[in-house]
């Protein structure tokens, strides 16, 4: 339910939180209310105290309860941060990249180079573009992929599906959801399945760039690497992860001494240069290939797949 204020706060909206939005973070709630607004603008509204929950100043990670009243300030579309519509070519490309859709979920084969969402200098990401493509639908990110990683990105069209899937993602040891990636690791990884159980800690480098490292005080993180093929002295692998930490596969692979091919943050510059010259690999060779889970307490199974991106398939073929 939405009401508009009169008087000095004319244009302000006060929205009552419906029961199906209980537990949602305020920043995600605002993304749904302020269609197309960049994350940077939403965080600025929160940071400057213009958004309030039951009269109290909201924080970006505040969680809502049914019946809460959210004060939303007016958004002027002529502000410098006002959203720009994503290019028509991108919208057309993303429409063709939808690999699954039903009444509850939409799955996208996200291209490398496209962020999951806007913010930090990024005008728009996959979620903003898909909302522009489907303006009459309610779309929320179930999870995120690194900007450089291609592959399966799942969005919820119903709040009930979002909360159930996010609960599965939080389960220990990946019991409720199986995430499978395809990657090319540099060098020869040993045969069989190699498990990396190493805690990860996010630090900041000069300039605010995130850098993740294995650290005893980090969060528990587990990845399972299995070689599928040997190609040109390198290892084409399937990776199953039990946790979804930032840069997890990339840091665990580097920890093994076999970084992901094309990784300019955690990889080997000389190897990346050779692969760029020899097989035309110009980006991170990491692809989210599949997600398997069940909704409705196990009654509705899903197996979602995203084909390996053409540029990665071609690079793999050139390795011989």
Catalytic residues: 146
Residues 138, 276 contacting (CB under 8 angstroms): no
SS3 content of the chain, % helix, strand, coil (to 5): 25, 30, 45
Cα–Cα distance, 165 to 238 (Å, whole number): 23
Q: Which of 171, 165, 138 is nearest to 152 (CA)?
A: 165
Residue entry with tokens 């244009």: 11
Q: Which residues of 243-264 are buried (b: 16+ CB within 10 A; e: fewer)?
A: bbbebbbbbbbbbbebbbbbbe
Residue 224, strand partner residues = 195, 240
Cα–Cα distance, 45 to 48 (Å, whole number): 5
Cα–Cα distance, 266 to 252 (Å, whole number): 10
Residues 26, 58 contacting (CB under 8 angstroms): yes
Q: Which of 290, 44, 28 is nearest to 139 (CA)?
A: 28
């Amino acid at each position: 339910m939405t009401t508009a204020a009169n008087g000095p706060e004319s244009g302000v909206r006060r929205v009552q939180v419906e029961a199906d939005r209980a537990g949602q973070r305020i920043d995600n709630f605002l993304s749904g209310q302020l269609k197309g607004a960049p994350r940077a603008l939403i965080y600025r509204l929160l940071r400057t105290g213009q958004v309030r929950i039951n009269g109290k100043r909201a924080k970006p990670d505040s969680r809502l309860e049914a019946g809460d009243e959210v004060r939303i300030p007016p958004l002027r579309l002529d502000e410098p941060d006002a959203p720009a519509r994503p290019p028509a070519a991108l919208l057309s490309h993303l429409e063709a990249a939808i690999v699954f859709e039903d009444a509850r979920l939409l799955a996208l084969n996200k291209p490398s180079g496209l962020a999951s969402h806007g913010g930090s200098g990024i005008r728009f990401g996959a979620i903003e573009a898909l909302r522009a493509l489907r303006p009459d639908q309610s779309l929320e990110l179930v999870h995120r992929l690194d900007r450089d990683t291609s592959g399966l990105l799942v969005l919820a069209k119903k709040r009930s599906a979002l909360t159930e899937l996010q609960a599965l993602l939080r389960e220990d040891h990946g019991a409720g959801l199986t995430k499978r990636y395809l990657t090319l690791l540099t060098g020869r990884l040993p045969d069989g399945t190699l498990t990396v159980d190493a805690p990860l800690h996010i630090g900041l480098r000069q300039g605010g760039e995130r850098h993740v490292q294995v650290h005893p005080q980090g969060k528990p993180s587990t990845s399972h690497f299995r070689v599928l093929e040997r190609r040109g002295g390198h290892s084409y692998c399937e990776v199953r992860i039990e946790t979804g930490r930032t840069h997890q596969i990339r840091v665990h692979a580097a920890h093994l001494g076999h970084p992901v091919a094309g990784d300019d943050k955690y990889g080997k510059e000389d190897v990346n240069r050779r692969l760029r010259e020899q097989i035309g690999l110009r980006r991170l060779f990491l692809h989210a290939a599949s997600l398997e889970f069940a909704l409705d307490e196990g009654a509705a199974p899903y197996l979602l797949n995203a084909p390996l991106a053409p540029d990665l398939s071609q690079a793999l073929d050139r390795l011989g």
